[in-house]
Each structure stands twice: as C-alpha cells, then as structure tokens.
Amino acid sequence: MHSSDLTFKKVKIPLLSDSVSAGFPSPADDYTEENIDLNEHLISNPFSTFFLRVKGDSMINSGIKDKDLIIVDKSLTAKPGNIIIAMIDGEFTIKRLSIRNNELYLKAENHNYPDFSFRNHVDIQIWGVVIYSIHSYL
C-alpha cells in the first residue's frame, strides 16, 4: 500500500494568521503557522473510519443530501439520536436511530420514506455511526 490510500492521505492547507494582500509580497507570509489536515480534525479512529456516498433524499431534513460524502466511524457504539448506517435486507441505508415507546427504530428524515422497526425486520444490522457529511455546493 502506498500513499494513495485515501483515509490516511494528508491534505495540507496552509492556515494564515493574517489576511493576504495581493500585488506585493505578502507581509502575512511570515505568519504562516501550520497546515490544517482535515483528516486529523475529522477522523479520530482512522483504522475504523470509512467513506460512503449518499444516494437519495431520505435524510433531507437532517441536512444530508443526495451525493453527499459521509464519514462513518465503525468503532463507535450507536446511541439513540445518532445518524447511523444500517444494513437492511442487503442494502446500506442511512437513518436516525430513535426511540419510541421504549423501542428502538430507524427514522427517515423525510416524510416520503418509511421508518424501520427492529421488531419487524429480521435482517437489520447497525454498520456504523455517521460522524460527518460533506456537501459540495458546486
């Protein structure tokens, strides 16, 4: 394996401690402090973190949209309120883990999509906890 490995690739973005002026050598150059490595800030358990791509709009009301990039940490234990990835009948699905009448169920955040109760589905398994979603505005 070499550094093409996405999860651990360092993406360095210089962090400036002052604004940059154009046209002449920037006085801010001397104040370049460090690089921001998004992996370092977004991922605390690199060996159990995976990326997935969202297809569909079942979570639209939570702010997660079609084509968003999802960062999932499988080492975390899912708690009610977390947005999670579950496997239902051989498919990945993204839902919010919720409690109703003392029972766990998976809640879609879009009225057009059904919820899933653990009681009614035999083949349902929590795969990981969503820690970030990344949306492109382009």
Could you list the residues that contact another protein (CB under 8 A)?
A: 1-7, 47-48, 50-58, 69-70, 74-75, 85, 87, 90-94, 108, 113, 127
Which of 12, 17, 21, 58 is labelled catalytic? 58
Residue 104 or 113 with smaller CB distance to another protein: 113
Residue environment code for 99-119, b if the CB has 16+ CB neighbours within 10 A, otherwise e: eeeeeebbbbbeeebeebeee
Residue 2 or 111 with smaller CB distance to another protein: 2
Q: How far is the CB of 55 from another protein (least distance, A)?
A: 5
From its phi and psi, is residue 102 left (phi > 0), alpha (psi between -120 and 50) or beta? left
58 is catalytic: yes
Residue 104 or 124 with smaller CB distance to another protein: 124
Which of 26, 44, 95, 98 is labelled catalytic? 95
Q: How far is the CB of 69 from another protein (least distance, A)?
A: 8
Residues 95/84, Cβ–Cβ less than 8 Å: yes
Q: How far is the CB of 128 from another protein (least distance, A)?
A: 9
Rg from Cα positions in the chain: 20
DSSP annotation of 5 reads -
Q: CA nearest 74: which of 124, 9, 130, 123?
A: 130
> Which residues are identified as catalytic?
58, 95
